[in-house]
Chain A
Amino acid sequence: MARDVLIDLRHITKVFPPDTVALSDVSVSFEAGEIHALVGENGAGKSTLMKVFYGLERRDAGDIFFRGAKVEFRTPREAIAAGIGMVHQEILLIPEYTVWQNIVLGAEPVRAFGIIDVDKAREAVRQKIEEFQFNLDPDALVGDISVAARQKVEILKLLYRKVSVLVLDEPTAVLTPQEIPQLFAELARLRDKGHTIIFISHRLDEVLTLSDRVTVMRRGKVVGTSTASELTKEDLARQMVGREVLFTSRRQPQEPGEIVFCARGLNCSDTEHRARLHDATVEVRAGEIVGVAGVEGNGQFELVNVIMGLASMTSGTLEVKGKDFTHVDILTRRTLIAFVPQDRGKMGASLVASILEDAIMTHHILDPRFGTWRGLGLDYRHAAEFVDQIRDQFTVSMGHSSDPFRSLSGGNQQKVILGRELLLETPFVLMDQPTRGLDVGSIEYVHQLLLDLRSKKRAVLLVSADLDELFMVADRIVVMCQGEVVANLATDATSREEVGYYMLGGKEAVHAETGS
């Protein structure tokens, strides 16, 4: 079916100072009424391209044509006014406001003196909900509804402003396997009503299921555009990475050893006395990788915090290598636990510090070789040698160790953190979303690292939202839902669907939550 070209991006170039060429002479065109997927590994430039189009980033060269006319969106407001809306990867809503408040924010119906017409707003929102069959409660607080529901609010926000083009950035990253078909059905319905959908993703199965055409990007350049029905997953992967990619696990069978880590009956509440962890029990043995799966917000973060000593539990016990860790301070825990946190910037490092300063944390206390002057001083020379060791052992691409940490790419930052933590040589390693936001090369590297740890008989607890990752490296998968451990499955004996079923608490997500 021949369609008109709706959006034409020509020769777009974008540089992030000082060194990163995010987009290099990119030209793509999108047709009206299609679902077009933009595919590439993390760092390929697909998000950046759309942000440049949308007015969130300024391009350094190139032109944009919309409906045949040259346009320049300097702010998202202008893009929305032209009928283009973007839903970002991190859901950008205000949890303290209700669904209808979030939807009308910025385009509120008003009476005299700027007073908001609450009835009119709620009615308009209710109409839109019905029109697109989204199944939401307009008065629910966004902070209380599920992640999938919040995503719908984001989409509705744009539909309320009458956009005809929807750009979705990695929308399935936050959904369970069960919730994805529903999203796809909604998107297909939108397309059938005449909307155009641009869908950014790195998940190849989904891309092939949903889209009409696919454009592949790699390292800031366009590799090619094809019709989805003519492609296979292997074709796509090869285009994305430039070489053959393995989709099968390299995990060798191995008998696990003694119990290294044991958490039993953990209970933890938040400041409003809601139970965040309920009787959680997890065990990890030497030479074993245990994965923790679950929709974000079901207690994984609290589990990690309790293990590290950042949050207190109301009851339960923690044991590492037979030692009771229930009430010890953080430093003691660090002697036996290495920790790679989920948010590099918030918990894993100080972005403004130098690479060296971030690399020696914890070692500066636990390793006497770092001390001078009876422990009062820090031996910076030894620290520099240590950084060299990390750089060589973990193949970090970096400048001088005194450069600021944030000058490193995401993958290299993570390598420094991994190097620091793993060189603590602890029997137990806790990793929280270690491959989030990394490019395929770095992801492969981390997975290999995990498997190496496993063959060296260390015990690893891996919290991850990426089921593919868990199935690739984990021996067992425990599933968390509402703060409880609802399943403990052997990877080789289960499937993604079964895990997804437990992630939703054993309920099929046919009818979406209404926010209650």
Chain B
Amino acid sequence: MRKQALSGILGVLAAFAIGALLLALQGFNPVATYGALLQYSLFGGSGFTATLTRSVPLILTGLSASIAFASGPVNLGQPGQLVMGALGATLVGLFVHLPSVFLVPLCILASLLGGALWSGLAALLKRAFAMDEFIVTLMLNFIADYFALWVITYPLFDPSASSPMTKPISTAAWLPDMGGVNTGVLFMVLAAVVCWLIMSRGRSGYEWRMTGQNSLFARIGGCKVDANYVRVMLVTGALAGLAGGLMIMGGPHRFVKGLGANYAWDGIMIAVVANSSISGTFLYGLLFSALQQGAIGMELVTAVPSEFIDVLQAVIVLVVVAGRVSLNMVFDWLATRRKLKESVG
């Protein structure tokens, strides 16, 4: 645990250093840039709350990827599952008329189902036809994108809008604000806690993790590996779907073209850098959210294009992942030296 934290912190710092180098090469001032980043993400009235709000889809998709990667299935379909979850929430929000106390849970359920449906499709294809879910989920991402585009351009198109989007969903489904922070955050935290409970304290979480580490061992041990596979796919799909639903309900309140664009891939990235740990995903999710939120302000102040954050994030991932391995090698080398002295000296 401590090793993970150490390699994480060192890795992030090293990545920031590399980022500073890149900035300097392009003629920007690294200190001013990072300063603006910090200011606009955490301080100043809306910075902190905006960071929290933005972290919702990041952390949820990150949890989805983390659980999947730790348990075996290579679910890279969060982008598509997010879209389908958002569609589900939109459909219910547009056509079902109920008071808030019923409609909000219903929309959330619809988003869970939408995401689970999409990942379940991949799971079905794997179980029935041995089609590798890695490629299937990737292809389904593109298919979901285009499908959603069609839906908001034709059947659900808002005639009063100038670009493809749906009408706004019923206000009863809008998630309220609490002191600037969207209540979506509450749902996200709840989901994160549940995920943590399942993975560290639950029987399913134990079986899933063992299967992810050595599926033959788990199978011989009596775990129902095939049923668990489907369960993991459904749960992780539902998580990504939830991200989509919360985005609709807490954000623009309608399905807009390009919704969720990069969040899901960032979620995957977060799972990778967090080594699929739940708590790591949560923390890195907050970090990346802060970086992305701060980037907008950073661009205003220092004219560094906000896309720089994409590069910085990827560098963080590469460095932390590599650092993890190198740190192990360093520890081993240190241990060798110590043992040598003991035995010979």
Interfacial chain B residues near A380, Cβ < 8 Å:
201
Q: Which residues of B contact A352 (CB under 8 A)?
A: 213
A256 within 8 A of B: no
For the complex formed, measure the closest distance between the CB of A9 and the CB atoms of chain B, giving whole angstroms: 16
Of A17, A20, A341, A357, chain B has the most CB atoms within 10 Å of the CB of A17
Which residues of the other chain, B, contact A61 by a CB distance below 8 angstroms? 340, 344
A349 to chain B: closest residue by CB: B217
* B220 within 8 A of partner (CB): yes
B202 contacts chain A at the CB level, 8 A cutoff: yes
Contact present for A365 and B222 (CB under 8 Å):
yes
Inter-subunit contact A378/B220 (CB<8 Å): no
B210:A357 contact, CB within 8 angstroms = yes
Q: Does A144 contact B (CB under 8 A)?
A: no
Is A377 a contact of B203 with CB atoms below 8 Å? yes
Q: B299-339 vs A: 1/0 string, CB under 8 Å?
A: 00000000000000000000000000000000111011011
Q: Which residues of A contact B221 (CB under 8 A)?
A: 334, 361-362, 365
Contact between B344 and A308, CB atoms less than 8 A apart: no
| A-chain residues with CB within 8 Å of residue B335 when the two chains form the complex | 17-19
State whether A376 touches B203 (Cβ < 8 A). Answer: yes
Q: Does B216 touch A at the CB level, under 8 Å?
A: yes
Q: Using known A-B contacts A346-B214, A361-B221, determine if residue A378 contacts B202 with beta carbons closer than 8 Å.
A: yes
Q: Is the CB of B222 within 8 A of A13?
A: no
Q: Mark A26-66, 1 if CB is under 8 A from B, else 0.
A: 00000000000000000000000000000000001100000
- Which residues of chain B are near A362, meaning CB under 8 Å? 221-222
- Residues of A within 8 Å of B203, CB to CB, are 364-365, 371, 375-378
A350 touches which of B201, B202, B213, B336 (Cβ 8 Å): B213
Q: How far is the CA of A388 from the CA of B207 in the complex (A)?
A: 22
Produce 1/0 per residue, B28-48, CB < 8 A to A. 000000000000000000000
In the complex where A364-B206, A371-B203 touch, is A19 in contact with B339 (Cβ < 8 A)?
yes
> Distance (Å) between the CB of A172 and the closest chain B CB?
30
Please give the distance in Å from A21's CB to the nearest CB on chain B: 5
Judging by beta carbons under 8 Å apart, are B340 and A347 in contact? no
- Cα distance A17–B201 in the bound complex, in angstroms: 32
Residues of chain A with a CB closer than 8 A to B97's CB: none
Q: Which residue of chain A has its CB nearest to the CB of B207?
A: A364
**Which residues of A (362-416) have their CB < 8 Å from a CB of B?**
362, 364-366, 371, 375-378, 380
Q: Are B336 and A361 in contact (CB under 8 A)?
A: no
The answer to whether the Cβ of A25 comes within 8 Å of any Cβ in the partner chain is yes
Do B336 and A17 touch across chains, with their CB atoms under 8 A apart?
Answer: yes
Q: A13 to B218, Cβ gap below 8 A?
A: no
Tell whether, in the assembled complex, residue B220 and residue A377 are in contact, meaning their CB atoms are under 8 Å apart: no
B173-212 vs A, CB cutoff 8 Å, 1 = contact: the mask equals 0000000000000000000000001000111101101100
- Per-residue CB contact flags for chain B residues 59-76 toward chain A (1 = under 8 Å, else 0) read 000000000000000000
- The CA-CA distance from A377 to B214 in the complex, in Å, is 21
**What 1/0 mask marks residues of chain B from 238 to 272 whose CB sits below 8 Å from any chain A CB?**
00000000000000000000000000000000000
| Cα of A19 to Cα of B343 in the assembled complex, Å | 10
Q: Give A360 to B219 CA distance when docked, in angstroms.
A: 14
Question: CA A348 – CA B344 in complex, angstroms?
Answer: 36
If A13-B340, A17-B339, A362-B222 touch, does A346 touch B216 (CB 8 Å cutoff)?
Answer: yes
Task: List which B212-234 residues lie within 8 A (CB) of chain A.
Answer: 213-214, 216-224
A310 touches B332 (CB 8 A): no
Instruction: Determine which residue in B214, B216, B219, B223 has the highest number of CB atoms from chain A within 10 A of its CB, and name it.
Output: B214
Q: How far is the CA of A351 from the CA of B214 in the complex (A)?
A: 9
Contacts of B213 in A (CB 8 A): 350, 352-353
Contact B336 A60 (CB under 8 A): yes
A308 touches B220 (CB 8 A): yes
A199 at the binding interface (Cβ < 8 Å): no
| B220 engages A330 (CB within 8 Å) | yes
Complex Cα distance A343/B202, Å? 28
Select from chain A the residue with minimum beta-carbon distance to B214: A350
CA distance A346 to B220 in the complex (A): 11
List A residues 254-312 near B (Cβ within 8 Å). Answer: 308, 310
A185 within 8 A of B: no
On whether the beta carbons of B216 and A334 are closer than 8 Å, the reply is: no
Q: Are B220 and A310 in contact (CB under 8 A)?
A: yes
From the candidates B201, B206, B343, name the one contacting A13 in the complex (CB within 8 A). B343
A378 proximity list for chain B (CB < 8 A): 201-203, 206
CA distance A101 to B209 in the complex (A): 42
Q: How far is the CB of B71 from chain A (nearest CB, A)?
A: 13
A349, B343: Cβ atoms closer than 8 Å: no
Q: Which residues of A contact B216 (CB under 8 A)?
A: 310, 346-347
A105 at the interface (CB under 8 A from B): no
CA distance A37 to B41 in the complex (A): 69
User: CB of A331 within 8 A of chain B?
Assistant: yes
In the assembled complex, how far is the CB of residue B170 from the closest CB belonging to chain A, in whole angstroms?
A: 35
Chain B residues with CB under 8 A of A116: none
A330 adjacent to B219 (CB under 8 Å): yes
A17 touching B217, Cβ below 8 Å: no
Would you give the shortest CB distance from A346 to chain B, in whole angstroms? 6
Q: Are B202 and A331 in contact (CB under 8 A)?
A: no
In the complex, whether A146 has a CB less than 8 A from a CB of chain B is: no
**B219 neighbours in A (Cβ, 8 Å):** 310, 330
| Residue from the list B204, B220, B222 in contact with A347, Cβ < 8 A | B220
Q: Does A512 contact B (CB under 8 A)?
A: no
Residues of chain A within 8 A (CB-CB) of B336 are 15-18, 60
Tell me the B150-186 residues at the A interface (CB within 8 Å).
none
**Which of chain A's residues has its CB closest to B205's CB?**
A378
Q: How far is the CA of A18 from the CA of B335 in the complex (A)?
A: 5
A24 at the interface (CB under 8 A from B): yes
Chain A hits for B206, CB < 8 A: 357, 360, 364, 378
CA–CA, A61 and B343, complex, Å: 11
Rounded to whole Å, the gap between the CB of A164 and the closest CB of chain B is: 32
Given A17-B335, A331-B222: A348 in contact with B343 (beta carbons within 8 A): no
A residues in contact with B204, CB < 8 Å = 376
A245 to chain B, nearest CB (A): 27
Closest Cβ–Cβ distance, residue A34 to chain B (whole Å): 30
Chain B CB within 8 A of A339 CB: yes
Which B residues are closer than 8 A to A by beta carbons?
A: 197, 201-204, 206-207, 209-210, 213-214, 216-224, 331-333, 335-336, 338-340, 343-344
Binding site for B on A (CB under 8 A): 13, 15-21, 24-25, 60-61, 308, 310, 330-331, 334, 339, 341, 346-353, 357, 360-362, 364-366, 371, 375-378, 380
Q: What 5 pairs across the A-B complex have the smallest Cβ distances?
A: A18-B335, A331-B222, A17-B332, A361-B221, A17-B335
List 9 additional contacts besides A61-B344, A347-B216, A360-B206; criterion CB under 8 Å: A13-B343, A334-B222, A346-B217, A348-B217, A350-B217, A365-B221, A376-B202, A378-B206, A380-B201
29 contacts between A and B (CB under 8 A): A13-B343, A15-B339, A15-B343, A17-B333, A18-B331, A18-B338, A21-B339, A21-B343, A25-B344, A60-B340, A61-B340, A61-B344, A310-B220, A330-B219, A331-B224, A346-B214, A346-B217, A350-B217, A353-B209, A357-B206, A357-B210, A361-B221, A361-B223, A364-B207, A365-B203, A365-B223, A377-B203, A378-B202, A380-B201
